[in-house]
Structure 1
């Protein structure tokens, strides 16, 4: 069975959507926004503005354009480089966080935006966000771009009204937005590095899918190469070039991510977790876990333990070809 590594990573990333808000700018204006805890989406409904953030060339956004900020860093939205940025937070607090207006109110509207913030689980930055650039611009003509403002507005509606199942709806909508942005990024940056870009390479992608289909199996580079119908040396070279590490290094890291999730989301013993993710002994698992994540499994469990109700089996990553009834923790 062909499995999608992105789906597995997203299931561990634990995406949470927060309440969306609108911004209306009049004339020349500039607002400075605080660093988001997770990621920040904005979509321009009408007009234009420019986004400035550290380490990225300013981007002018026009009607239909959207952006995703993946790093916890400040950013400025403005219509004029000569206007001194004002802090955005007080404006939104004054409007109960749902909307804000900036610039001289007697001037015409120069931009209207809708935006939302997303938070993630503890491991999401290393698993997903660090594999993306700090800022991704989704132009109006891109696939999925036209849906962004509608999805953000729906998230706002769900979080405001608190209807039955609102949290689940918002979380799934957040995942839709992320997937659209990731698809666009991979399509337009095929030569990038990292596991995400490995999905663009048919040989590496097959190896990644094979690993994710059964991470507990005793894989060798030769077995993965056979699955991809290439030589051992070809797979090793292409995997290293594209992903930045060898296939068995990636396998080890993914097993430990699955193990970390089980440690915080279940009451399984460390030995049971070790066996489930492909380790022959608790000692071998503990040694690898401490080497890669910096702390022993037992200490990690105590530090990050999350208590929540069980989710349906289909919501969780695959281990040994089966779904596990785990508990999902709240995003940090």
Structure 2
């Protein structure tokens, strides 16, 4: 698979829920830590502000906009960001598929959305590779994503045969669509793992790593895939992705190892060899450094 498919497949979406929110008047709602949740939204009418923890500038949302929050950070939706916020937990009852929550009588702002939890091992580490928001403004792009959101609502509301599997595939579709469109719309940006995929040079190196994680990669090998000198490649990789190339190789191997430890009965020695380590000891040392515990403790 390609790197984006690799990362998203390890997230293992589950617990799909779709609902609507109808607000009126002046309002401001704070959503707490969205740990382990990815949310996809489409603005049906009206507009509001979106503020995400750790993101300097608030985003103005208008009718037709679609956006995905893939990082799980706390966020706030408000008609006016100067208003004091109320906690979302005081407004939203236990989630009901296809239900609509009305606030202040509704009528001014209406949004529909789908959310899904991720259950893959070390989901936080994987989600940190994604942007805090993928905001889709292009009208034709919005239509494609909005169809997925509305279809998700229909599947969860009607519960036809096969609806659970359909919801799973739609969740993946929404996330991949949004990230692809976001990459295309913001191709001028240069920092972040997602944009490294879109970069011709770094993308070639990342594809090589993900296609054969057990290969005994060297900095020279990866630089050659990127058609760059070692020093220029190492600098660009670190500045864009935030880690050195060989650190990235090790971290990706350990994420794959964690998946096999959690979901197979393969011996640790076999996992070590499959990921390019000559001994179980060398593998265990690397695993503990990256994952914070030994392979046996992890399993």
The alignment's TM-score, normalised by the length of structure 1, stands at 0.79
Q: 2:173 aligns with which of 172, 176, 181?
A: 176
Deviation string for 1:110-156 (max 9, x for gaps)?
A: 111101222112322212x21334334322x1663223333222222
Return the alpha-carbon distance in structure 1 between the equivalents of residues 229 and 11 of structure 2. 33
Q: How many residues align?
A: 294
Q: 2:251 aligns with which of 241, 245, 253?
A: 253
The answer to whether the 8 A contact 2:129-2:192 is kept is yes
Return the alpha-carbon distance in structure 2 between the equivalents of residues 41 and 291 of structure 1. 34
SS at match of 2:128: helix
Alignment correspondent of 1:100: 101
Alignment correspondent of 1:306: none
Matches within 5 A, 1:135-154: 135-139=133-137, 141=138, 144-154=141-151
Matches within 5 A, 1:41-60: 41-56=40-55, 57-60=57-60
Return the alpha-carbon distance in structure 2 between the equivalents of residues 176 and 5 of structure 1. 16
Return the alpha-carbon distance in structure 2 between the equivalents of residues 220 and 168 of structure 1. 41
Return the alpha-carbon distance in structure 1 between the equivalents of residues 22 and 132 of structure 2. 25
Alignment correspondent of 2:20: 22
Alignment correspondent of 1:319: none
Matches within 5 A, 1:182-197: 182-187=179-184, 188=186, 190-197=188-195
Return the alpha-carbon distance in structure 2 between the equivalents of residues 244 and 34 of structure 1. 27
Deviation string for 1:173-198 (max 9, x for gaps)?
A: 12222222322333315433333222
Match status 1:66 vs 2:79: no
Which 5+ residue runs of structure 2 have no aligned equivalent? none
Return the alpha-carbon distance in structure 2 between the equivalents of residues 224 and 49 of structure 1. 45
Return the alpha-carbon distance in structure 2 between the equivalents of residues 197 and 281 of structure 1. 35
The alignment's TM-score, normalised by the length of structure 2, stands at 0.87
Matches within 5 A, 1:122-271: 122-127=121-126, 129-139=127-137, 141=138, 144-187=141-184, 188=186, 190-271=188-269
SS at match of 1:257: helix
Q: 2:289 aligns with which of 288, 291, 295?
A: 291
Distance change (3 Å), C-alpha of 1:78 and 1:236: closer
Per mean C-alpha deviation after superposition, the further-off stretch among 155-164 and 78-87 is 78-87
SS at match of 1:216: coil
Distance change (3 Å), C-alpha of 1:137 and 1:269: same
TM-aligned CA deviation for residue 227 of structure 1: 3.1
TM-aligned CA deviation for residue 20 of structure 1: 0.7
SS at match of 1:28: coil
Return the alpha-carbon distance in structure 2 between the equivalents of residues 30 and 236 of structure 1. 44
Distance change (3 Å), C-alpha of 1:78 and 1:274: same
Return the alpha-carbon distance in structure 1 between the equivalents of residues 43 and 226 of structure 2. 43
The answer to whether the 8 A contact 2:145-2:177 is kept is no
The answer to whether the 8 A contact 2:136-2:178 is kept is yes
Which 5+ residue runs of structure 1 have no aligned equivalent? 302-332
